[in-house]
Chain A
Amino acid sequence: MSPDRTQRLIGELARDLAPVHRVPRLRFSVAMVVGIVAATALIAFWMQGLRPNLADALRFDPVFGGVFVGLVLTGVGAALAAVAAATPGRQRVVRAGAATGLVGGLGALALCLVGVAGAGFDAGSPLSSDRMCLGQVFRLAILPSVALAVVLARGWTSSPLAAAALALVAGVALGAMVTHLLCVFGGARHLLLGHLSGLLLFTGLGVVPLATLLRHLARAR
């Protein structure tokens, strides 16, 4: 070690010191994201109305109900993990959130695949309905994804790529969850392509640009 150089650096760091605002508490950041999703959902419900017979579909259609639960787990788990990823020393929360999200996502995927295998690929709604819901998932995912990206940009993350992936998965899952409650179509294939596929598609498309942006912001800080 070279103590002189390190001591000089410490002196420089102390001289460079400026007061800072602490990042908000984890629960505050998660509540902010959930609040944004809730507000978006309320506006969407008000404009479009809820799915007819939503309560019955959730209770008696195992694929529909299971995919909803899977999306909630994925959205909340990944959002928690993304927010925790912005703070050093919260690896346990990151791991717990990511694991919850993974279980939810894989569970929903498995249910859809079982449903498609049972009913056939062409059963249920036309293919155009898949595109409609996928577009809605995208639109509804924008705000929560941006909110999570802001939390990540404000914090300090050791792995921008993983953090960006978590933020996008969370945003898309929460968008898909709201879409799920609005959607008038049915069938396992529709749920797979219209509601779930966005998780892979939009995360895949956005993860590298968002990670690059986070890296750039971290370097500029």
Chain B
Amino acid sequence: MDSDETRKAPAEAEGGRDDEARWRDGMVAGQAGDQAVYQKLLEGLLPVVQRLVKARLANATMADDVVQNALLSIHRARHTYRPERPFGPWMRTIVRNACIDALRQSGRRQEREVSVDAELPAPRDGWGAVSAQERLERAELSPELERALDALPVRQREAVEWLHVEGLSVAEAALRAGASPGAIKVRAHRGYRALRLHLEKERR
């Protein structure tokens, strides 16, 4: 099980009584479905989460994704918060686990993605108005890569397209798919592997 590292990082010492009370009330309202209060809570938590992540991760690019994953995890685990318990340790545990997961997966992911990344267009910002198909067309993918993408199972293709064509973060893709960030990463990894095999076969 996790070790309690909450006292190790100086940035984690924050979260006074006022913050605790505000966070607790915000989460209780969020559990009841109050969207406006919940949005304020997440916006208030954002700088805290960013500091906690920065204290643990040196890689700024990775930190951005981890902050989003941590917010998504807080959202998905909100039913496990009980108002009689302090909010800070609950949140810090989730953020810490998001950091640990990211560190664990980063090495493996880089190895798997590197050969396919060269084939895919650079990730972009923005989502919603333009469909994935349109973005694929605009991205002017090579015909062989388009064929390889078409051959992927739907979930894997979606994951690859969202992350690499639409430029969504893992957390955004997870929210869109209604799955966890881990599931999105697994689908994308499987997609990358299948793409690589497909491309290698075509080039032989």
Q: Closest 3 CB pairs between A and B?
A: A14-B39, A19-B33, A89-B89
Stretch from B16-24, B67-75, B132-140, B190-198 that touches the partner: B67-75
Q: Cβ of A6 and Cβ of B71 under 8 Å apart?
A: yes
Whole-angstrom distance between the Cβ of B137 and the nearest chain A Cβ: 23
- For the complex, is B2 an interface residue (Cβ under 8 Å from A)? yes
Task: Say whether chain B's binding surface is mostly helix, strand, loop, or mixed.
Answer: helix
Which residue on B lies nearest to A161, using beta carbons? B1
Q: 10 additional contacts, CB 8 Å, given A10-B42, A21-B79, A23-B80? A: A5-B68, A10-B43, A12-B175, A14-B36, A14-B39, A17-B34, A22-B81, A88-B94, A89-B91, A218-B182
B92 contacts which chain A residues (CB < 8 A)?
Answer: 89
B3 contacts which chain A residues (CB < 8 A)?
Answer: 91
Total interface residues on B, CB under 8 Å, equals: 54
Which residue on B lies nearest to A2, using beta carbons? B64
Total interface residues on A, CB under 8 Å, equals: 46
Q: Cβ of B46 and Cβ of A4 under 8 Å apart?
A: no
Instruction: Evaluate whether A14 and B35 lie within 8 angstroms (CB atoms) in the complex, with A6-B67, A158-B2 already known.
Output: yes
Residue pairs across A and B with CB atoms within 8 Å: the count is: 135
B175 contacts which chain A residues (CB < 8 A)?
Answer: 9, 12-13, 16
- For the complex, is A1 an interface residue (Cβ under 8 Å from B)? yes
Q: Cβ of A95 and Cβ of B79 under 8 Å apart?
A: no
Q: Cβ of A89 and Cβ of B86 under 8 Å apart?
A: yes
Contact of B82 among A12, A25, A220 (CB under 8 A): A25
Q: Give the distance in Å from the alpha carbon of A4 to the alpha carbon of B169 in the complex.
A: 12
CB-CB contacts of B34-63 with A at 8 A, as 1s and 0s?
Answer: 111011001100100010000000001001
Whole-angstrom distance between the Cβ of B54 and the nearest chain A Cβ: 9
B60 contacts which chain A residues (CB < 8 A)?
Answer: 1
Which residue on A lies nearest to B95, using beta carbons? A88
Instruction: Evaluate whether A23 and B79 lie within 8 angstroms (CB atoms) in the complex, with A4-B125, A6-B71, A89-B89 already known.
Output: yes
Which residue on B lies nearest to A13, using beta carbons? B75
